[in-house]
Amino acid sequence: MKRSRIVIGGCSMDDAPRQHARNIATLASQTHQWPVFIRAHLDIMNDYFMRATDASYAQPMRKTYLRELELLDIPAQRLLLGSVFKVSNAPAAHYYGNISRIGRAFTESAHAADFEKAVKGYMKDQQLDPFNKCLFFLLYASYCYQQPEAAETKTKISELMKELKAYPEYIQAGIHGLKE
């Protein structure tokens, strides 16, 4: 019943939609309905509601809740990276993640180094189509720009610049466009 109710907030700072999704996730975990729990949790992480529930000035107060998935031993990295891929034959229930929010979530991850390695690998993968490579580039750029310290952003972009030749030309062009 809770999932059939649509909650829309009254303003961009209204957290009623997020609280409703949290209540669904809590109930699902208590009743061991793990697919429902994960879907509600991902909705909170990706801010997938009828409209964005926070304005940009509210975002610093809101956490991504990636650590909760990691603490539950849910393979969060695989789950979130899988939600980035775009495929033509995905089932109707396939979950597509928000690149900006996923990038931000991995800045809080205990496995950020593994995330970086995986994303850089996707950008270089000869078997992956150009569209998905570009999505992973945008994901990595989002991750870099959302680092808690400006010095970390500069370091990560500098490291990417050093590896420039390893990437396809269209990714190289994007890397050249990054600002430190």
Dump pLDDT digits (tens) for 71-80. 888 899 999 9
Q: Is the pLDDT of residue 152 over 90?
A: yes
Residue 131 neighbours by CB under 8 Å, 6+ apart: 86
Task: List the domain boundaries for the chain.
Answer: 1-62, 75-180
Predicted confidence at residue 52, as pLDDT, reads: 54
Predicted confidence at residue 94, as pLDDT, reads: 87
- Say which range, 46-50, 99-103, 128-132, has the weakest mean pLDDT: 46-50
User: In the chain, pLDDT over 90 holds for what percent of residues?
Assistant: 57
Residue 27 neighbours by CB under 8 Å, 6+ apart: 2, 33
Q: What are phi and psi of 27, to 5 degrees?
A: -60, -40
Confidence of residue 60 (pLDDT cuts 50, 70, 90): low
Dump pLDDT digits (tens) for 11-25. 767 778 888 999 999
What is the model's pTM? 0.87
Confidence of residue 93 (pLDDT cuts 50, 70, 90): confident
DSSP sequence for 80-126? HHHTT---TT--TT-----HHHHHHHHHT-TTHHHHHHHHHHHHH-T
- Computed over every residue of the chain, the mean pLDDT equals 87
∠105-82-69 over CA atoms, to 5°?
Answer: 45
